[in-house]
């Protein structure tokens, strides 16, 4: 049963579609760091969502990817937003981007929404109430061996210094699994594990806004999210992330543990 709160929030996130598809705003962009971009779409989506949340939940804090990250007390209820997860995809008109909104309460994610405006597809979950895609209940796959699995990976384009090591480990995974995918949006990659399209997704370093919304969707779908050593992700902080259907988590850890610095 979807709560009125979730229905209102899903409608809010879905109403960013026109902002995301504004072709002029995509052209106006800045490079925050090497290969790390932000467009006017990112900032327009964040402003729109933040202003609406300020009205709907005035007592809550807000942590968004774009702009200053003021000192927040992460023990207080905090909205965590990636306005465009997959900005490099957006810039190249590669239709695999998401608006990802999560609510953290007591250092745990209580609800999450991941919306792909290009496919008009929305994933969402509230703790204890199951995970959904476009109103349909979703669950992770029951596959329990890497040999039967489709694995997605984040290549961490902002930290290419690890590429040689990480691609070496990726090649060993590739030798054992069915195939590899690189989508370019961590939130969508984790949502695809949640609905059983893939069996695992991992990436060396994700920010809280990359994983917050999808974490609860994955867990409510029966999946598991840890760091590369199998420990819980420190919610609200950057972390290596391994998201799986649970059935191949231990097998994937035998590879990701070799990536621990």
Question: Binding residues for ligand LIP, per CB under 6 A?
Answer: 65, 82, 85-87, 154-158, 184-186, 203, 210
- Active-site annotation holds for 210: yes
d(Cα 258, Cα 261) in Å, to the nearest integer?
Answer: 8
CA 239 to each of CA 22, 42, 229, 236, 252: distance values in angstroms, whole numbers, following the listed order: 32, 22, 11, 9, 17
Token reading at 242: 């391994």
- Which residue out of 42, 189, 203, 210 is catalytically annotated? 210
- Which residue out of 82, 199, 203, 251 is catalytically annotated? 82
- Active-site annotation holds for 82: yes
Q: Rounded to the nearest 5 degrees, what angle is found at the Cα of 112, between the Cα atoms of 6 and 66?
A: 115
Can you say whether residue 69 is alpha, beta or left, with left for phi > 0 and alpha for psi between -120 and 50 degrees?
beta
DSSP 162: G
d(Cα 108, Cα 113) in Å, to the nearest integer?
Answer: 15
Query: Which residue is at the shortest CB distance from ligand LIP?
Result: 186
Cβ neighbour number for residue 28 with a 10 Å cutoff: 13
- Active-site annotation holds for 22: no
- Active-site annotation holds for 203: no
- Which residue out of 84, 113, 138, 151 is catalytically annotated? 84
- CB of 3 vs ligand LIP, minimal distance in Å: 27
d(Cα 68, Cα 166) in Å, to the nearest integer?
Answer: 31
- CB of 67 vs ligand LIP, minimal distance in Å: 13
- CB of 212 vs ligand LIP, minimal distance in Å: 12
- CB of 259 vs ligand LIP, minimal distance in Å: 14
- Active-site annotation holds for 8: no
93 or 136, CB closer to ligand LIP?
93
- Active-site annotation holds for 65: yes
Any bridge partners for residue 31, and if so which?
A: 37
137 or 160, CB closer to ligand LIP?
160
Can you say whether residue 31 is alpha, beta or left, with left for phi > 0 and alpha for psi between -120 and 50 degrees?
beta
Query: Catalytic residue numbers?
Result: 65, 82, 84-85, 87, 210
């Amino acid at each position: 049963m979807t709560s009125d709160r979730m229905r209102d929030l899903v409608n809010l996130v879905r109403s960013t579609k026109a902002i995301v598809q504004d072709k002029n705003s995509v052209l106006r962009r800045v490079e925050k760091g090497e290969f790390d971009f932000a467009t006017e779409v990112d900032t327009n989506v964040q402003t729109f969502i933040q202003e609406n949340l300020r009205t709907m939940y005035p007592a809550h804090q807000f942590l968004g990817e774009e702009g200053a990250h003021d000192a927040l007390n992460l023990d207080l209820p905090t909205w965590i937003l990636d306005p465009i997860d997959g900005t490099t995809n957006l810039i190249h008109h590669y239709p695999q981007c998401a608006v990802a909104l999560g609510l953290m309460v007591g250092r745990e994610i209580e609800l999450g929404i991941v919306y792909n405006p290009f496919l008009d597809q929305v994933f969402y979950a509230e703790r204890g109430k199951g995970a959904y895609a476009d109103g349909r209940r979703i669950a992770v796959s029951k596959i329990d061996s890497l040999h039967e699995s489709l694995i997605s990976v984040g290549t961490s384009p902002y930290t290419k210094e690890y590429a040689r090591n990480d691609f070496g480990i990726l090649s060993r995974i590739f030798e054992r699994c069915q195939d590899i995918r690189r989508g370019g949006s961590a939130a969508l990659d984790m949502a695809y594990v949640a609905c059983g399209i893939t069996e695992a997704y991992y990436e060396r370093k994700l920010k809280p806004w990359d994983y917050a919304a999808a974490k609860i969707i994955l867990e409510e779908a029966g999946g598991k999210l840890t760091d590369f050593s199998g420990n819980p992700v420190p919610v609200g902080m950057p972390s290596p992330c391994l998201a799986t259907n649970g059935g191949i988590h231990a097998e994937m850890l035998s590879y990701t543990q070799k990536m621990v610095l």
